[in-house]
Amino acid sequence: MSVVMIEQRIGRHGAGRSAFTLIEVLISVVVLSLGLLGVAAIFPFVLKQQQKATDSVQGVTVARSAADQLTGNESMTSPDYGLDLTEPAQRRGWRTLTADAAWSPLGEWTIPQFVSSFRDLDGIGGLGIEPRTGNMFGGRPSSPSANPDLTYTGFFAMPLSERLWPRPGVANIGEVSGEAKPDGIDPVYVWDFVARRVQSGYSNPITPSLDPNDAPRYADDNVQIAVFVRRLDSGIRARVGTIKQTIFTGAAVPVGADPATGIPSFDGLGDRSTPQGRPSYSVPQLAAYAVQTGFDPSRRLLAIATATPEMQRYVSQIGQKLVDDDGFVYTVEKIDDEIAARVRAVPTNAVLVQISPAMPAKLRNGQAVYSGTVVFTPQVPAAVEVRTVSPWRP
């Protein structure tokens, strides 16, 4: 068989074969791209649901562990036999708060105030936090000695290193400064707490006197605490080695916010007064609420007014946790803008949210409109735990 005949046969068979045209290839690429886009769109939702599932387990565990630490810490509940509670320097643990007549006199929640150091609480008392480090303090420090740096008493410290989870392996933790050398894995959560007075009924007036000589009359009041567990800001950059080293060296805080408005930054900074930004800790916030029981017999609609209009966006986030002034915890389920427009009791600077569970009926006390205060964190917390502490009694 000649070469010419072979080439002719091959040519005839080749001409009969089918192939993909350019149009068919383009259509296949488009269909494949649409499928990949659909799969990619599902990933954020799946990751968010996975994070929620993790928080529902680990977050609750961290919150309970933190509450146990606050209620069972020997330094917070140590005996004080024979101490003069009218003298701030002799108060210990939770009694640094309850023996202070000016602290939460009506049982209102007190949130940490920004202080440059624990010494600033000498003039204001209550709870304080260093915005650059996140170290917390409570009480009213006092120093009768000529060397105040060594003799400050009448307060307690809760360093940031003790409020991270997993807690990094640390060494040389200062009792006051909270300085530590981090070791171990990066933390995932950080917890903070707010506190209020709960009158125990032991020789207490309805409204505690501001006379410091009356300290023993209400020093045995209880303390109710609300622990908020939050994930670390997702936008924290490891400026110094790892994330934990960045936090421990003061280059960032676990949760950042604007120091003036409280709006979260989600990058561990918050203070934009400089081009590079500076750390500023995000503290819990207070907001007023009202329930119009006549319009809403279910007691599930809350009209919440925040200090600034910008904060309404964060208090009304789906899944947000609200703790009212009786210690009940509610979860925001949705926003009802349409209903809000028809409810006269909702002020223009408030947002109407639906909560779960319903507010207990006993709280409304027959009032047409029931109002109060809620405390929350700008970032939706992973978990919230409320406990009542009974300071040690002789």
**pLDDT tens track for 101-144:** 888 988 899 999 999 988 888 878 899 999 999 999 988 877 65
pLDDT in tens, 143-162: 655 555 555 667 888 999 99
Q: Are residues 228 and 359 in the same domain?
A: no
In whole angstroms, how far apart are CA 382 and each of 42, 61, 63, 279, 326?
22, 10, 9, 22, 21
Q: What is the pLDDT of residue 174?
A: 41
Same domain, 105 and 232: yes
Residue 241 CB partners (closer than 8 Å, separation 6+): none
Residue 13 in domain = no
Domain-located, residue 173: yes
The residue ranking higher by pLDDT, 346 or 62, is 62
Domain presence at residue 10 = no
* pLDDT of 360 strictly over 60: yes
| Mean pLDDT over the full length of the chain | 78
Q: Tell me what pLDDT residue 3 has.
A: 46
**Comparison of pLDDT for 223 and 370, the residue scoring more:** 223
Q: Residue 354's closest CA among 308, 271, 298?
A: 298
264-305, pLDDT tens digit by residue? 999 999 887 777 788 999 999 999 998 876 666 677 888 898
H runs (alpha helix) in 265-336: 312-315
Q: Do 110 and 164 fall within a single domain? A: yes
Q: What pLDDT is attached to residue 8?
A: 52
Together in a domain, 263 and 331: no
- Residues whose CB falls within 8 Å of the CB of residue 229, separated by 6 or more in sequence, listed in order: 59, 62, 63, 66, 165, 189, 190, 191, 381, 382, 383, 384, 385
Note whether 79 and 207 are same-domain residues: yes
Q: Is 118 exposed, middle or buried (0-12, 13-18, 19+ CB in 10 A)?
A: buried
Q: Residue 332: which domain range?
A: 285-376
Residues 336 and 193 in one domain: no
Clarify whether residues 264 and 306 are in a common domain: no
Residues 245, 338 within the same domain: no
Give 38's pLDDT tier (boundaries 50, 70, 90).
confident
- pLDDT at site 152: 64
**Residue in 163, 134, 148, 355 with CA at minimum distance from that of residue 253:** 134
Query: What's the mean pLDDT in 202-228?
Result: 65
**What's the CATH number where 337 sits?**
2.40.10
Please state the rounded mean pLDDT for residues 329-352.
Answer: 71
CA distances from 120 to 152, 155, 158 (A): 12, 11, 16
State how many domains the chain has: 2
**pTM here?**
0.80
Q: Are residues 185 and 116 in the same domain?
A: yes
Query: Residue 309 — very low, low, confident or very high, per pLDDT cuts 50/70/90?
Result: confident
> In the predicted model, what is the mean pLDDT of residues 39-68?
78
Query: Does residue 4 lie in a domain region?
Result: no
Specify if 247 maps to a domain: yes
Contact 286, 237 (CB under 8 A): no
- Residue 281: both structure tokens together: 């800790």
DSSP reduced 3-state for 231: strand
Asked, for residue 14, whether it belongs to a domain, the answer is no
Does the structure show a pLDDT above 80 at 210? no
Same domain for 278 and 289, yes or no, is no
Q: pLDDT tens, 184-202?
A: 688 999 999 999 998 875 5
* 222 shares its domain with 296: no
- Establish if 154 belongs to a structural domain: yes
Same domain, residue pair 318 and 386: no
Q: What percent of the chain has pLDDT over 90?
A: 32
- Domain membership of residue 272 (yes or no) is yes
